[in-house]
Amino acid sequence: MSDKNNYDNIDELLSSILNDSKQAEAQNVATEQAADISKTSVMSTAVHIDDEIDTDNVSGQTNVFNFGTFQSQHGHTAVASDEEVNQEAPVRKSEKSRKKKKKKRRRRNYTAYGGIVLATFVLCASILISLFIIVVIRDVLGIEDNDNEFTIYIEEGSSTWDIADQLYDEGVIQYKEVFIAIARIKGVDGNMYPGDLDVAYNMSYADIIDDLMEARESKETVTITFIEGITLYEAAQLLENNGVCDADEFIYTFNSTVFGYDYEQYVSSESLKLYKYEGFLFPDTYEFYVGDTAYNVAKKIRERTDEILTSDVIARAEEIGYSLEEVVILASIVQKEAGSVDDMASVASVFINRLNNPEQYPRLQSDATTAYIDNIITQVMTVSSDSMCDAYDTYTCLGLPVGAICNPGEDAINAVLYADETDYYYFCTDPETGVAYFATTYEEHVANCELLGIM
């Protein structure tokens, strides 16, 4: 039904309610007036006629009484006595009663307002239902601006419900029951092929079902492992070298696309950052399709990152006084600086102690940040940017650098979230064994460096 028809029906309903209300009021008024007339007639019969009236002249005649005055059909008129004049009091009472009843009648007019409220409610409900239908139809028909394609794998033995759940989880469809109903109407419920399925957010439900009815060959895949501490630039080169997707396209898509994960809202868009989402490529082993789209690859990686940066991690970061991004930035430094997982919590304590004592230790002085500038920033930037280099150099900037310097693993992230409580402000690492030596004062630190022969 169109919105115009909805409006016409509502107008008719409103008019009907108002007319019924007016008719009811008219009947009430007529009833009350009849009752008043009846009372007046009864009171008039109680009028007393003076004894001096000539009864002979009026004998056998019909008498008409009018508010205390006697009049025969012959034209004789008699004046009512004082007792008869007093009969006007009940009339005045009747008028007061009628005035009171009129007030009650005005209160009854609220039924009309009730009709208006009901009509308004019906109108709002109709609009909401219409909007819901429009939203459902848009999704079913694939009316969507996002035309990014990616591939999902339908496992052998998947039922229509299983496929609907998978498509829903991937964000391809929003209404599983509608998808299943269309599959049944098309007579393909339970008869869909497994294998790799290319989908897009703007595909209609019918098109998806048609593709599922075609036998599909499995695409070639490749397994890639991103080690802890890998940079986004290095990861992109690894993807391109294995034939997954173009490196530049991946870097652009990874940093410019918002996939709707909760952790994304905590990532800043600082202009001095080299890469916005450096630090948010979770190091792990992935299986990618050869010749896949950069969007599909970026989505898979960012989805895995979302499994690590959960609401509990975000809450813990706030508990220790940091934002999620600050935790990731600091974890990236810990990932590069610590020689082993066992030392990460103590290494994290050194940087946290410095951050908590900015007057005495305004700079973190991490060699790992200067290495990122030399090996990544200067290699990527076609035009030198001193401002960007200074924003990453912890020997120059105050506190944390502007962005992460690598992609930390889960151990480094937890080391920051649950750092050791120490009084360390310095550390150095044995280049041969990777063992860290910690110090509270600069003098102790110099002694440790001399012991390791690195100073």
pLDDT digits (tens, 9 = 90+) for 421-452: 999 999 999 988 889 999 999 999 999 999 99
- Given a cut of 80, whether residue 273 has pLDDT beyond it is yes
- Given a cut of 60, whether residue 204 has pLDDT beyond it is yes
Confidence of residue 372 (pLDDT cuts 50, 70, 90): very high
Instruction: Work out the widest C-alpha separation in the chain, in whole angstroms.
Output: 153
Top pLDDT among 366 and 144 is at 366
Question: How do residues 98-151 score in pLDDT, each as one tens digit?
Answer: 545 555 555 555 577 677 777 787 878 777 776 666 656 655 665 565 677 888
Distances (CA, A) of 54 to 58, 72, 123, 147: 7, 11, 75, 110
- Given a cut of 80, whether residue 330 has pLDDT beyond it is yes
Where is average pLDDT lowest: 18-27, 41-50, 248-257, 308-317?
A: 41-50
Give me the half-sphere count of Cα atoms (radius 13 Å) on the Cβ side of residue 373: 21
H helix runs in 218-323, sequence order: 232-241, 247-256, 294-308, 311-319
What secondary structure does DSSP assign to 64-110, as a single string? EEETTEEE-TTS-EEE--HHHHTTHHHHHHHHHHHHHHHHHHHHTTH
Top pLDDT among 122 and 209 is at 209
- Given a cut of 90, whether residue 312 has pLDDT beyond it is yes
Look at residue 30 in the predicted model and tell me its pLDDT.
52
- Given a cut of 60, whether residue 301 has pLDDT beyond it is yes
Look at residue 16 in the predicted model and tell me its pLDDT.
54
Look at residue 136 in the predicted model and tell me its pLDDT.
60
- Given a cut of 50, whether residue 78 has pLDDT beyond it is no
DSSP character for 191?
A: -
Look at residue 11 in the predicted model and tell me its pLDDT.
47
Look at residue 67 in the predicted model and tell me its pLDDT.
41
Distance CA(66)–CA(369), nearest Å, equals: 113
What secondary structure does DSSP assign to 109-175, as a single string? THHHHHHHHHHHHHHHHHHHHHHHHHHHHHHHHT--S---EEEEEEPTT--HHHHHHHHHHTTS-S-
Distances (CA, A) of 350 to 346, 359, 426: 7, 15, 6
What mean pLDDT, rounded, does the chain reach?
Answer: 80
Look at residue 148 in the predicted model and tell me its pLDDT.
79
CB burial class (10 A; 0-12, 13-18, 19+) of residue 74?
Answer: exposed
Whether the model clears a pTM of 0.75, i.e. scores above it, the answer is: no
Average pLDDT for 46-55: 42
Residue 196 pairs with which residues in a beta bridge? Answer: 153
Average pLDDT for 159-185: 90
Distance CA(358)–CA(360), nearest Å, equals: 6
Where is average pLDDT lowest: 61-65, 92-96, 110-114, 216-220?
A: 61-65
Average pLDDT for 302-328: 97
Look at residue 114 in the predicted model and tell me its pLDDT.
74
Question: How do residues 398-422 score in pLDDT, each as one tens digit?
Answer: 999 999 999 999 999 999 999 999 9
In sequence order, the 6+-apart residues with CB closer than 8 A to the CB of 47 are 65, 68, 70, 80, 84, 87
Determine what percent of the chain is predicted with pLDDT higher than 90. 51
- Given a cut of 60, whether residue 89 has pLDDT beyond it is no
Look at residue 23 in the predicted model and tell me its pLDDT.
55
Determine what percent of the chain is predicted with pLDDT higher than 70. 71
Distance CA(173)–CA(347), nearest Å, equals: 46
- Given a cut of 50, whether residue 42 has pLDDT beyond it is no
